[in-house]
Structure 1
Amino acid sequence: MKCRFVRSLKGRVLAVLGATILLCWAGALTVLVVYTLRGQSSHWDSKLQAIGTKILMSIPSGRHLKPSFGHSLQLRDDSIPRDVNLTFQVWTERKNLIVRAPDSPPTPLLPAFNDGFTSATIGGERWRVFAVSDSTGEVSVQVAMRHSVIDEEIRHKTFGALGFVTALLGVAGLLMWFAMGKSLQPLTAIQAAVRRRRKFDLTPLPVAQLPSEIRPLVESFNHLLDQLDQAMQGERRFIGDAAHELRTPLSALQAQAQVALRATTLEGKDAALVKLLAVAERSTRLSDQLLDLARMDAGVHAPQKNAADLSELIMHVSQEFDMQAQQQRRSIILALTPCPIECDVDEIGILLRNLLDNALRYTPEGGRVKISCAYREEGGQRRVCLEVADDGPGVPEAEQQAIFRRFHRIAGNGGRGSGIGLSLVAGIAQLHEAAIQTGAGLDGRGFSVRVLFPMPAATGAGPASDGQDVTPAQPA
């Protein structure tokens, strides 16, 4: 419970406010006590001084004063309260008591007869005494007040003032607590609204009523919700598109398997199995592309860039397609220059495979696919250029940017692609800060894709030539 209170913003603020109120209360108590003690002492001293002075000035001068005798006069109304806490004496020549209060002792209140204020113990009680003499020093008046009366009045006023200050600070604390609860009420409302939401409800949270200090936090959270919503929408689209793309090859697999089962001759079964194998290869390629696309969309890891020679990567990937190119009666031509780049080798391998597979797929029998890499001046900057060109039917200029969108196919094209490969190429190029350009293919025909990679920071400029042509695969 204590840990939750400390972690709570409201708890922390209230704790600070409570500590501040306690400190203010302690400071106010100290000031009140000191002020009341000094003020009340001065107040009673002033009263004693005024009474003593009045008594002395009321005594006639120029006469020989004699001690009083007999009983003191009685009040007409005995109900009038008698102040037993205040007493006085009038002395002459410091030895003759001529007048005193009925409850005053016969001995001097202040035996030393020093003028001024003194605290003395008389009859076992503490008194505050004030003594004043005339100009000749012959007549002396002593006035005294019980200290218990002064202390009682000081305590009464101190506790009264302390109670007022305590009540005032308590009201201030309650107002602060109410203001804190009122200020955090929008957050409580947002919390309740979020808890009431259904699953996958990612609409933005309202920020109109929020305090200005909290609004940026909620706006950032809304931005995150928007990104999450976009990611979920993309995931739903991807699942729908992937299911649609897989439906066709799976249906073809089922159909070819049924044809193979129903074939009555060995030649018919072999023909059906060859088609079945071709459909299975296409399904495998499609599933690989879907997995690559899903991994890239999920952003499970950033590209692990290392130094690599693009020409060596091209040589390695092209060897994987040698047998396929020979079976399809197509040629792969390499024109390579050593070009170091900073890249994720696995990602660039996927990019090369998809570019080469796409070119071979849309190139007719006897056609050519040329892969080259060299240095190229682009926009006043030297860059590494990877180009894959073919002499196939080409791509209309209006479609050349659209083909890099996911699951996009050109209407009327005889190829059987899934529309995934070039979208993977675009995504991997973007991760490597590379630009993509399109144009005409070989001999002014066909289609070409150029990927321009930035130069490595620690690599000097290489030769500008296109390299020497190499033809590892020829038509069978």
Structure 2
Amino acid sequence: MTLCPVKSLKGRVLLVLGLAITLCWAAALSVLLTYTLRGQSSHWDSKLQAIGTKILMAIPSGAKLKPSFSHGLQLRNENMPRDVNLTFQVWTNRKELIVRAPDSPRVPLLPSFNDGFTSASVSGERWRIFSVSDSTGEVSVQVAVRHSVIDQEIRHKIFAMMGLTTLLLTVAGLLTWFAVGKSLRPLTALEAAVRSRRKFDLTPLPVAQLPTEIRPLVESFNHLLDQLDQAMQGERRFIGDAAHELRTPLSALQAQAQVALRAATAADKDAALVKLLAVAERSTRLSDQLLDLARMDAGVHGPQKSLADLSELILHVSQEFDMQAQQQRRAIILALTPCPIECDVDEIGILLRNLLDNALRYTAEGGRVKLSCGYRSDAGQERVCLEVADDGPGVPEAEHEAIFRRFHRVAGNGGRGSGIGLSLVAGIAQLHEAAIETGTGLDGRGFSVRVLFPLPAGAAGSTGVGAMPAQPA
């Protein structure tokens, strides 16, 4: 559980940097304090040792030293500062005080006269003492400094170092704050630019001034905006094309209804009603195709795939068109082999209906439409092949690719189609990872469409039975 959740990126960065600077400040002070305490003590110990040693070495060897308690020589300038914090004593035989500083006590600073350093209280004050004796042990020199002096110097140095460290880290913190603010300033500008945009303005966001770490995220947003823009453009085109396509049958419905109302005889009325029914059927087919196309473009859900036998789906759809084929005097021929595929049954039904409806409408009376399915092997890869072929007038080879674009019509087809059916076929095939091939139809005439589905996982494929040729007939 987060103790102090900060949602702002700038706030998080500054918080982390602030904590890091604080920890560095505390660590630096600890190191400086330890170093200063040890260094200052060593510095004074060195001074005491140097003074004591020089005093001892300055005494002539073999000289007869006698105690002297007279006042020392006076300074020429009484205002000259004196070091009252540093003192010394010279003793002989550890009993007689020969020489001492004016402010030195008359008792030994270190009664034990042990050579080396020690800290002791003399006359109620703490002193740092250094004692040294000559080789015979007869002469001893003791040099001392008040602990208060050492402590005061240590405090002064610690405070100076604390102030310098705090100043440097404060400057570093301010520079960091300025750098973070300046680095995030492009994000603030980007936010303002996005908020000031008009509705449906999906132009890419500027990325030139963004930090390198943020740029991939904004570029992914730009990619999403581009997809949204394409989708919106597609929706606008779809609405415009759909309105255009619906305008013609609706106008025809209105015209045929007016003809039927003005018909003088029952025969004329019946003829007008027959045409009205044909236009209504075309309008129904067009609206169904538009709904299927809109649903597929919306991408509300992906295909709900399950294992199904393609031959059974073809048989079921062909039965739906039997009555229509008989009325139009066209024959539906089936050549089916059991072929299981992974598919969305409803989507494949739409694909089959559009292929069969398209073939029947472009086949003349007495013509044939053949539906077949089987296995086909290309370059060692086996796939399930669905073929719908007719013996109609066919499609020019230059138009084979274009007819799968929505609202495209082949010139000279009499306007019998809406240009939606084959685009639905192409979209559904893509959702099923299937390939589409086109070619000539039956007996070297007409037109054929082949849809090549991948084999379902674990399927054994064909063993020569029900195999289809590699090239369209």
TM-score by length of 2: 0.91
> Deviations 1:136-183 (Å, cap 9, x if unpaired)?
322222222110000110111122122212222222222233223333
Q: Which residue of 2 aligns with 1:220?
A: 220
Q: Which residue of 2 aligns with 1:459?
A: 459
Amino acid aligned to 2:31: V
Structure 2 unaligned regions, length at least 5: 469-473
Higher RCO, Cα 8 Å, sep 6+? 1
Q: Which residue of 2 aligns with 1:410?
A: 410
Secondary structure at the counterpart of residue 452 of structure 2 = strand
Q: Which residue of 2 aligns with 1:298?
A: 298
CA contact (8 A) 1:376 1:464 kept: no
Superposition CA RMSD, Å: 2.5
Give the stretch that moved more between structures: 233-242 or 325-334: 325-334
Which residues in structure 2 correspond to 1:250-265 (within 5 Å)?
Answer: 250-265=250-265
Secondary structure at the counterpart of residue 213 of structure 2 = coil
Alpha-carbon spacing, 1:439–1:72, altered in 2? closer, same or farther (3 Å) = closer
Alpha-carbon spacing, 1:91–1:425, altered in 2? closer, same or farther (3 Å) = same
Which residues in structure 2 correspond to 1:70-469 (within 5 Å)?
Answer: 70-462=70-462, 464-465=465-466
Indicate the percent of aligned positions where both proteins have the same amino acid. 83
Give the stretch that moved more between structures: 244-253 or 62-71: 62-71
> Deviations 1:91-129 (Å, cap 9, x if unpaired)?
222222233223222222111122222211112111111
CA contact (8 A) 1:336 1:466 kept: no
Give the stretch that moved more between structures: 208-217 or 142-151: 208-217
Question: Shift of the alpha carbon at 1:407?
Answer: 0.5
Secondary structure at the counterpart of residue 184 of structure 1 = helix
CA contact (8 A) 2:376 2:467 kept: no
Give the stretch that moved more between structures: 117-126 or 319-328: 319-328
Question: Shift of the alpha carbon at 1:193?
Answer: 2.5
CA contact (8 A) 1:335 1:466 kept: no
Once residues 372 and 350 of structure 1 are traced to their aligned partners in structure 2, the CA distance between those partners, rounded to angstroms, is: 17
Secondary structure at the counterpart of residue 117 of structure 2 = strand
Question: Shift of the alpha carbon at 1:271?
Answer: 3.3
Q: Which residue of 1 aligns with 2:26?
A: 26
Structure 1 unaligned regions, length at least 5: 468-476
Once residues 253 and 126 of structure 2 are traced to their aligned partners in structure 1, the CA distance between those partners, rounded to angstroms, is: 117
> Deviations 1:263-322 (Å, cap 9, x if unpaired)?
454444443333222222211111110111111122222222222111111111111112
Once residues 212 and 222 of structure 1 are traced to their aligned partners in structure 2, the CA distance between those partners, rounded to angstroms, is: 16
Question: Shift of the alpha carbon at 1:17?
Answer: 2.7
Amino acid aligned to 2:374: A
Alpha-carbon spacing, 1:378–1:65, altered in 2? closer, same or farther (3 Å) = closer
Once residues 225 and 426 of structure 2 are traced to their aligned partners in structure 1, the CA distance between those partners, rounded to angstroms, is: 26
- Aligned length in residues: 466
Once residues 61 and 461 of structure 2 are traced to their aligned partners in structure 1, the CA distance between those partners, rounded to angstroms, is: 125
Once residues 4 and 84 of structure 1 are traced to their aligned partners in structure 2, the CA distance between those partners, rounded to angstroms, is: 56
Question: Shift of the alpha carbon at 1:465?
Answer: 4.3
Once residues 62 and 406 of structure 1 are traced to their aligned partners in structure 2, the CA distance between those partners, rounded to angstroms, is: 125
Give the stretch that moved more between structures: 318-327 or 348-357: 318-327
Question: Shift of the alpha carbon at 1:346?
Answer: 0.7
Once residues 3 and 85 of structure 1 are traced to their aligned partners in structure 2, the CA distance between those partners, rounded to angstroms, is: 54
CA contact (8 A) 1:361 1:415 kept: no
> Deviations 1:181-239 (Å, cap 9, x if unpaired)?
33333333333332232222222233333333333333333222222222222121111
Secondary structure at the counterpart of residue 208 of structure 2 = coil
Once residues 375 and 84 of structure 1 are traced to their aligned partners in structure 2, the CA distance between those partners, rounded to angstroms, is: 113
Once residues 4 and 48 of structure 1 are traced to their aligned partners in structure 2, the CA distance between those partners, rounded to angstroms, is: 54
TM-score by length of 1: 0.90
Once residues 61 and 392 of structure 1 are traced to their aligned partners in structure 2, the CA distance between those partners, rounded to angstroms, is: 138
